[in-house]
Amino acid sequence: MRISEISLEIRSSESESQSLLLKEIEDSIKEAERLTPEDLSPGKLSGKLQKSLSRLNSFLPLPESGNLQIWKLSYRLWNACVDLSNNIEISFRNEEKANLRSKIDEEQANLRQISADLLFLAGNVTGIPSPAFKSASFFYRTGLMWHDLKKFDLASNCYERATDLLSKIEIDDISDCEERKLLLDLNLSRSRTAWEVSERNLALTVLNRSKNLLFGNPENYRALAEQYLEFGKFVLSRDDKSAINEALKLINEALDQCEKGLGLASEGGYNETLTLKNLRAKSLRFLAAAHLQMEEFERVLKCVRVLRDTCGADHTSVPFLAMKAWLGLGRVVEAEKELRSMVVNKGVPEGICVSALEAFFQGAGVAGADATKGIFLGMLGRCHVSAGTAVRVVQKILAGGNVSVVAEIVSDEKVVALFAGGGAKERSAMHALLWNSGAEHFRSKDYETSAEVFEKSMLYVPHDVENRILRAKCFRVLCLCHLGLSQLDRAEEYINEAEKLEPNVACAFLKFKIYLQKKDEKGAINQMQTMVSCIDFNPEFIILSAHEAMACRALPVAIASISNLLNLYSPGKLMPMPEVALLRNLIALLFQNPNNESEILKQMKRAKTRMSELGTEQFFGKGAVGSRELSWFAGDSWNMGIKTARENKYEFCAEFWEMASDFYGVMEETDANRAMVCKSLVICVAAMINGEKQMGVSLTDSDVRRGLELVDRAGKILSSFSTAAQLVENQPAIQPSFYFLHTFSAYDLHGRLDEARSQQLLLIKNFASSRTCTPQNLLHMGLTASRAPRPNPEAAHFALNACLTALLAAPSPNYQTVALAIRKLITLAGFRQGDSDDEAYSVYRQAYRIMVGLKEGEYPVEEGKWLATTCWNRSVLPGRLGQTEVAIKWMKMGLELARHLPGMDGCRDCMEKCLASVEKVGEEMSESRHHQLVS
């Protein structure tokens, strides 16, 4: 086969493929022509066409006939998209289909993009005028769709392709108006898209290039000016002073284009001139706004003057701008004139008037408050002033802090009349504004202002059954305001009115506060008890009552409040405070009043009872909180025991200490807590014994048995402590004095029982063997044993002997105490069983041995004389009975004692003579007796 034949075959094959591909594209376009909005599936048809378009690129360049066919197919697809778009506008007006609409619009944009691409592939076709402009037009309009869909990159691509198509055409050669308009519109759209993606420099560059595409057409100047103004407005809306200069440049450009356009429009029609004048006026207003943001108030006024000179009738914003500028210059009078001109102009919308009024008050401050009030009240003559306007004005003035002006406005009959009849929503809003303002002043303790605002708020509460509760609430809060001002009679009037409308616990509580401030404690207590009977009673009110009473230093009322609340507690009932905390507070209050021991004791017993009924953890609480509460009750019971003991109120202190032992007993078992239990028990019993002596009433048998039980408990704890270890500590857990007090109390109680002497002796022996025992303790025990109503000579003798032994074992004995112990032992000798004379003599002899070797005066002289004298006198009775040897024994001991005592010289001589005489008589009697025996 020849090469020429092969190339013909290849060309024939390519031609057939092109035809098939074009037929395929035509079929797809026919499908698009038949589509309805409901049938359009996003991505389906456009994807199919896009594949065909990709394959078509491989056959380029196409023959003239193929290009013409593609051109026709492109227009058919474009027209199908236009029809589809019209149908979409009708079918998708419902907002519920907005999401589906966006997907369909995107599919339609894809189809238009394919249509533009087909036209671009077709290129220049013979017989078609301005093909580049037509192709660029398709890309431009597709770019507009992508821009609306926020697909700015696709839009920018379309604009750039359109720009490339038109870039080779000389501008001067373009005479068609539509084509000229396309050049400008393309640049403006490209600038807008670049602005949207923050390519500001590109946007402004393209916009500036557009100045060369105006072709002396006023409409083009207007379009360019509008675009400059739009960009300027956007920059101005950022409210950033650093960007205002940029906004000013853009707005000035808009003004410049307007001026140039007007120069051309003067030769044209009226409509073009009017449109440009309106745009210039709009630009001037935004220019004034920009200067206002820059606080260039003089320039603002200059813009206003130009506007008024060139535009005639004022736009609603012009007097507003002028007012703001005058306020900025501090010229309130001129600003007020501008504001009044707006108010009297019925063409100015109500919203603008209200905003101007708000701005005037904000700028003029207190100086413009009266003017604000007068202007607003003047606005009421205008038929379109509504209750909502009044609410907005009051809200703004309240924000400025001028309550007195608000009070005058809201109390004006015309303003109140705005809310009469209907307008429940606005009336509620006004009431809420005034209420919140009153509450704010109440919180800042400005009760006078608060009361005024609350009173005015009641003007906006209807006198009907539905609002009865709200009126009662207003009366209650007014009562609180007058309480704060100490106007008690006014407060009482208001709360009485509130109670008529809605009797409840809040009214009762406020009455309670009035009684408190009137110092009527009895009335306050009765009122507090009334609260409990209210239907809506809440225990929180009793707690508040107690706080109020404490703040007013009305302790009886506070005590009565807490006592009343405590009576409401029951198992399982939910209460605002733990019972133990409330009970603690009550006892703390009782501490503040003197001679309240019986009531404190009553409440302590209550705590103890509740602890037994509920359990320790349930009553006091768990963990650290419960431990703190329990420690408080234990410690205060102990402290109250000490206080009442110092005041010699032994009947109270015994019970306080017994309760202290119970509280300490349920605490964590530590040496410290066990020691406190022991101490409490010991001094509790001691207090019982002292109370008996103070009151002169003997303990009953039951009290004695209870005392012995307490002593036994204490004894077990004492025995559990290592006495030796405790004594070497600097601060032993139980001081030695408690060991003695325990022994002393146990001795006393055992002495009240029959056949208890041996037990008493055992107690003293055990105590004497302990390391805590001192000679003074033994002396005290010995004296007690000898002087008790039921003396125990054996116990006394042991204690005194042990005391004497301990005293003499000391490095420096206290001989005064030694002498006292000796004297007591001598006295006891006659009461003990056995030979009392021999026992007494042994004591005298022991005293003599003690005195031997002492310095003169070291042993108490008077005690020595007593020993010598009593010992000598003991010889008298035996002498009279003829027991000469016994008499001589006593006389010799008395003489020996006298010889070691100063000041007894005369007595000693007399004693010696007497002793010699008695001895002589004794000898004679002995001899006589001997002779008688011999005979």
Is 90 exceeded by the pLDDT of residue 477? yes
Q: What is the 3-state secondary structure (H, E, C) of 717-750?
A: HHHHCCHHHHHCCCCCCCCHHHHHHHHHHHHHHH
Return the CA Rg of the chain: 59
Q: Where are the alpha helices (DSSP H) in 312-423?
A: 317-328, 332-344, 350-364, 369-379, 387-400, 403-411, 413-418
Q: How much is the pLDDT for 6?
A: 40
The per-residue pLDDT for range 741-778, each reduced to its tens digit, is 888 888 888 888 766 777 888 888 888 888 888 888 88
Asked whether the CA dihedral 132, 138, 142, 144 is positive or negative, the reply is: positive
The per-residue pLDDT for range 397-422, each reduced to its tens digit, is 787 777 888 888 888 888 888 887 66
Is 50 exceeded by the pLDDT of residue 383? no
CA–CA dist 515, 525 (Å, integer): 9
Closest CA to 698 of 643, 660, 749: 749
Cα 271–chain centre separation = 68
Average pLDDT, the chain: 82
**Percent helix, strand and coil across the chain, each to the nearest 5:** 80, 0, 20
Closest CA to 482 of 504, 497, 501: 497
Contact 247, 257 (CB under 8 A): no
Q: What are phi and psi of 578, to 5 degrees?
A: -60, 145
Q: Which one of 366-380, 498-512, 851-865 scores highest in mean pLDDT?
A: 498-512
In the structure, what pLDDT confidence band is assigned to residue 368 with cuts at 50, 70 and 90?
A: low
Is 70 exceeded by the pLDDT of residue 91? no
The set of residues, in sequence order, having a beta carbon less than 8 Å from that of 770 and lying 6+ positions away, is 723, 739
Q: How much is the pLDDT for 186?
A: 87
List the domains of the chain with CATH numbers: 214-294 (no CATH), 811-935 (1.25.40)
Contact 148, 190 (CB under 8 A): no
Contact 409, 379 (CB under 8 A): no
The per-residue pLDDT for range 318-365, each reduced to its tens digit, is 888 888 888 888 888 888 888 788 777 777 777 777 777 777 777 776
Asked whether the CA dihedral 799, 805, 808, 809 is positive or negative, the reply is: negative
324 versus 935: which is more confidently predicted? Answer: 324
User: 342-365 burial, b if ≥16 CB within 10 A, otherwise e?
Assistant: bbeeeebebebbbebbbbbbbbbe
Specify the amino acid at residue 539.
Answer: P
The set of residues, in sequence order, having a beta carbon less than 8 Å from that of 484 and lying 6+ positions away, is 442, 445, 447, 450
Q: How much is the pLDDT for 421?
A: 65
Give the DSSP per-residue string, 247-264. HHHHHHHHHHHHHHHHHH
Contact 572, 562 (CB under 8 A): no
Is 60 exceeded by the pLDDT of residue 43? yes
CA–CA dist 233, 798 (Å, integer): 116
**Secondary structure class of 572 (helix, strand, coil):** coil
Tell me the CA end-to-end span of the chain in Å, nearest whole number. 205
Contact 141, 125 (CB under 8 A): no
**Secondary structure class of 224 (helix, strand, coil):** helix
Lowest mean per-residue pLDDT among 95-99, 173-177, 187-191, 349-353: 95-99
Give the DSSP per-residue string, 423-484. -HHHHHHHHHHHHHHHHHHHHTT-HHHHHHHHHHHGGGS-SSSTTHHHHHHHHHHHHHHHHH
Is 60 exceeded by the pLDDT of residue 10? no
DSSP state of 314: P
The per-residue pLDDT for range 670-710, each reduced to its tens digit, is 888 888 989 888 899 888 888 888 877 788 888 888 888 88
Contact 409, 376 (CB under 8 A): yes
Lowest mean per-residue pLDDT among 236-245, 832-841, 881-890, 907-916: 832-841
Is 70 exceeded by the pLDDT of residue 369? no
Which parts of 574-715 are beta strand (E)?
none
Is 70 exceeded by the pLDDT of residue 932? no
Closest CA to 629 of 650, 655, 607: 607
CA–CA dist 513, 11 (Å, integer): 111
The per-residue pLDDT for range 489-504, each reduced to its tens digit, is 999 999 999 988 888 8
Contact 545, 512 (CB under 8 A): yes
Contact 112, 85 (CB under 8 A): no
CA–CA dist 431, 459 (Å, integer): 8
The per-residue pLDDT for range 519-553, each reduced to its tens digit, is 998 999 998 888 888 888 888 888 899 998 988 88
- Across 591-618, average pLDDT: 89
Is 90 exceeded by the pLDDT of residue 432? yes
Return the half-sphere exposure (C-beta side, CA atoms, 13 A cut-off) of residue 531. Answer: 28
Is pTM beyond 0.85? Reply is no
Q: How much is the pLDDT for 5?
A: 43
Q: What are phi and psi of 791, to 5 degrees?
A: -65, 150
Contact 462, 471 (CB under 8 A): no
In the structure, what pLDDT confidence band is assigned to residue 288 with cuts at 50, 70 and 90?
A: confident
